Amino acid sequence: MIKAVDIVVGYLPVAVAGPLSFCFADGECVMLRGRNGSGKTTLMKTLAGLLPPISGSFETGGNTLRQAQSGAILVPTRIPKVKGFTVREFIRTGMLASLGSFRKLNEDAENSLEEALKMMELEYLEGKDISRISDGEFQKACIAAAMTRKANVLMLDEPTAFLDVENRVMVLKTLQRLAHETGTTVMFSTHDIHDGALYSDAVLAL
């Protein structure tokens, strides 16, 4: 879940958005919308623990937070495709990076990798170089990589930016299915209000 009480976000001492109060349940897919500069990215960075709130408090997964810590994962806009990595290697590298140097994936981690590939319907692409897949398919790989972190909350900053219509719809449908089937609370920001509304359960407008 995501819950905020009178949260103000920004870069000290400048407030960008707030005070905001909202609550979204487990398994909800939430569209975050607003004009450029309204604070969408800043809000998600705060909920992901990358920025401390200026004031107020929030919860992700049931833990009340006032400092820069969180049980949420943020997938940023436009992650670069680095040639030479297969889809499986891309996801696996992210998992290894989160473990630190000289660590190996245990059985649970390997199972998480397989589950993410299956959930995102990437099994047929797992051996393909990420530079040779579509932007929509790569976005699904980025979501799969985030899934392996087992966060209660998954947030995506403009996940459909630069995508064509077919890939945009595919990614949005995938996000809503992920929320409904796993119980993860998913929040995505977008300027595409029409398609976003079709594949979201709630809207947070700034």
Cα–Cα distance for residue pair 147/156, rounded to 1 Å: 12
Does 108 or 29 have the greater pLDDT score? 29
Q: What is the average per-residue pLDDT within 178-205?
A: 92
Contacts of 145 (CB under 8 A, 6+ apart): 90, 91, 94, 95, 116
What integer pLDDT is reported at residue 67 of this predicted model?
38
pLDDT bracket for residue 49 (50, 70, 90): confident
Average pLDDT over the chain, rounded to an integer: 86
94 pLDDT more than 80 = no
Orientation of helix 107-119 relative to helix 87-99, angle to 10°:
140
Cis previous bond, 53, omega within 30: no
173 pLDDT more than 60 = yes
Sorted by where each starts, the structural domains of the chain and their CATH numbers stand as 2-205 (3.40.50.300)
What integer pLDDT is reported at residue 73 of this predicted model?
84
pLDDT bracket for residue 70 (50, 70, 90): low
99 pLDDT more than 90 = no
pLDDT bracket for residue 66 (50, 70, 90): very low
What integer pLDDT is reported at residue 127 of this predicted model?
93
Give Rg (Cα) of the chain: 17
Q: What is the average per-residue pLDDT within 183-191?
A: 92
72: which strand partners? 153
29 pLDDT more than 60 = yes
Closest CA to 190 of 152, 11, 169: 169
For 51-64, how does the pLDDT look when each residue is reduced to its tens digit (9 = 90+)? 999 999 998 864 44
65 pLDDT more than 70 = no
Q: What is the average per-residue pLDDT within 69-92?
A: 83
Structure tokens at 131: 């530079």
For 118-170, how does the pLDDT look when each residue is reduced to its tens digit (9 = 90+)? 888 889 999 999 999 988 888 888 888 888 887 789 999 998 887 888 888 88
